[in-house]
Amino acid sequence: MKIANRDASSKTSKLEPFRGSNLFAEKEGDFYVVYSYGYHFPLYVMKDFRGFHQKHGAIGAVVVWENMIKRSQSTSRHKTQARPTGNDFVFVESSTADLWETVRDLERSNLTMLGVVDEKGTPSVRDALENLIAIMKEEEEE
């Protein structure tokens, strides 16, 4: 659906695919990705963890890996226009390369949750992995 770029944030906040002017978002497997000027430059990669393993105390959030690399004034404007808003979002700063590596790692290990944040409120992948292993062991024992 073609939209004005100024309306991208509302689509991104709902994880809805859209097409704007050199700005677009698509669902890719379990991920939602917002791009500026093509597939080579993702602005945000998002994964919805709301409601997953709530009985184990995992946070119910959408984790947003945010590309912190500055490309151009127009790409920076796209980033502002597409930034998701709301209380359900946990942001993780990343570079383009680190962002894709994170997604590949999550896909490769088939993680389905990131339920731990550090004392600063930043999601910790290591702690999330340890938490996931503990949950899996707990479920095996049941």
pLDDT digit string, tens, across residues 31-52:
899 999 988 888 999 988 776 6
User: Which tokens in the block code for residue 37?
Assistant: 């000027």
> What is the reported pLDDT for 92?
84
Domain count, the chain: 1
Question: What pTM did the predictor assign?
Answer: 0.69
Determine phi and psi for 46, rounding to 5 degrees: -125, 145
Position 68: which residue type? M
Confidence band, pLDDT 50/70/90 cuts, at residue 9: very high
What is the rounded distance in angstroms from the CA atom of residue 6 to the CA atom of residue 65?
A: 21
From residue 64, alpha-carbon distances to 21, 23, 40, 85, 133 in Å are 22, 17, 18, 11, 22
The DSSP 8-state label assigned to residue 2 in this structure reads B
> What is the reported pLDDT for 116?
43
Domain of 89, in residue numbers: 5-141
